[in-house]
């Protein structure tokens, strides 16, 4: 199927999202809640583009809009810039402590606003929740609604589901999730975990429940090998080299 994005004609498969098609063609559309690993969420609306079919023109979230017909897409019009500037202004107001938002707020020369809570970094993109779901832990979700909405564990308590993998914090674009690693323990979401030590380099790299979880999920027998990702890579490389 043929679509035009910013005047460039592209051949795409039906069902592909506008965002994917654009990125494949090297056209950048800004996003906040999109991750290749989780697909489009349609949460942040940063990826809005203008879609023209016949004489009809409308704005859609490109990360969730599947291409099903011949359309003409614009990704950088003044109207879109204005939409994005508004989104950034609002998110900056919510999360003034986030470096990412500080940068975007400047880049887009947004009008002046004062942050609501100077300590807040979270922009409610839900990437952490997605990561937790994907890991299969389901320890965090969004709670409450409206201006009170935030990410947390049920009852703001230590969750029996949490395995301390910190996938949420690793995915978070704003560094809003607090992880403390100290004395061989990792603390996250009101819960403290004993960390695993790499048998080769001695560095801490994960938690005990993570290893159990991975073993269970992949039906692997992992038990005799506790290496950090770095040492594991080296070991693999060495094995490959020896085979050759």
Partner 1 sequence: MIMAVNSQQIADRQAMEKIINRYPPERRFILAIMQDLQKHLNYLPKEALKMTADHVNAPMTVIFSMATFYKAFSLVPKGRVVLKACDGTACHIKGSNVLIDEIYSCLGIKPGETTADGDFSLETVNCLGACALAPVLVANGKVYPKVTPAALRKIINEYRGQDNDSNTSE
Footprint of ligand SF4 (CB under 6 A): 122-128, 151, 171-174, 176-177
Q: Under the criterion CB under 6 A, does residue 32 sit at the interface with ligand FES?
A: yes
Beta pairing, strands 8-11 & 150-152: unpaired
Q: Which helix (H) or strand (E) holds 90?
A: helix 78-94
Contact between 3 and 12 under an 8 Å Cβ cutoff? The reply is yes
**What whole-number distance in Å separates Cα of residue 17 and Cα of residue 21?**
6
> Which sign does the torsion angle of CA 117, 123, 129, 132 carry?
negative
DSSP state of 145: -
Q: Which option in partner 1, ligand SF4, ligand FES, none does residue 42 bind, with CB closer than 5 to 8 A by kind? A: ligand FES
95 touches ligand FES by CB under 6 A: no
Q: What is the dihedral of CA 164, 170, 174, 179, to 10 degrees?
A: 30
- Would you say 122 or 196 has its CB closer to ligand FES? 122
Q: Which is nearer to ligand FES, 12 or 46 (CB)?
A: 46
For residue 63, the partner it binds in ligand FES, partner 1, ligand SF4, none, with Cβ less than 5 to 8 A by kind, is ligand FES
Name the segment binding ligand FES (CB under 6 A); options: 43-51, 81-89, 100-108, 152-160: 43-51
> What are the structure tokens assigned to 117, written together?
């809570």
| Measured distance CA(212)–CA(223) in Å, rounded | 9
Which 137-196 residues touch partner 1, going by CB under 8 A? 138-145, 153-155, 159, 161
User: Closer CB to partner 1, residue 72 or residue 161?
Assistant: 161
Q: How far is the CB of 138 from partner 1 (least distance, A)?
A: 4
């Amino acid at each position: 199927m043929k679509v035009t994005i910013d005047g460039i004609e592209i051949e795409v498969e039906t069902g592909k999202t506008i965002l994917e098609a654009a990125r494949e063609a090297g056209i950048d559309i800004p996003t906040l809640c999109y991750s290749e690993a989780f697909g489009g969420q349609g949460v942040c609306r940063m990826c809005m583009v203008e879609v023209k079919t016949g004489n009809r023109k409308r704005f859609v979230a490109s990360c969730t809009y599947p291409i099903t017909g011949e359309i003409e897409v614009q990704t950088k019009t003044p109207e879109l810039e204005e939409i994005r500037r508004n989104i950034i202004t609002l998110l900056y107001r919510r999360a003034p402590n986030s470096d990412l938002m500080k940068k975007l707020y400047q880049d887009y020369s947004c009008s002046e606003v004062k942050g609501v809570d100077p300590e807040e970094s979270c922009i409610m993109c839900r990437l952490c929740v997605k990561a937790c779901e994907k890991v299969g832990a389901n320890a965090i979700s969004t709670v409450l609604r409206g201006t009170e909405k935030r990410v947390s564990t049920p009852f703001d308590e230590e969750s029996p589901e949490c395995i301390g993998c910190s996938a949420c914090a690793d995915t978070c674009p704003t560094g809003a999730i607090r992880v403390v690693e100290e004395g061989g323990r990792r603390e996250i979401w009101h819960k403290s975990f004993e960390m695993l030590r790499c048998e080769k380099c001695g560095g801490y790299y994960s938690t005990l429940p993570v290893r159990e979880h991975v073993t269970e999920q992949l039906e692997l027998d992992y038990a005799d090998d506790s290496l950090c990702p770095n040492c594991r890579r080296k070991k693999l490389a060495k094995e490959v080299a020896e085979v050759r």
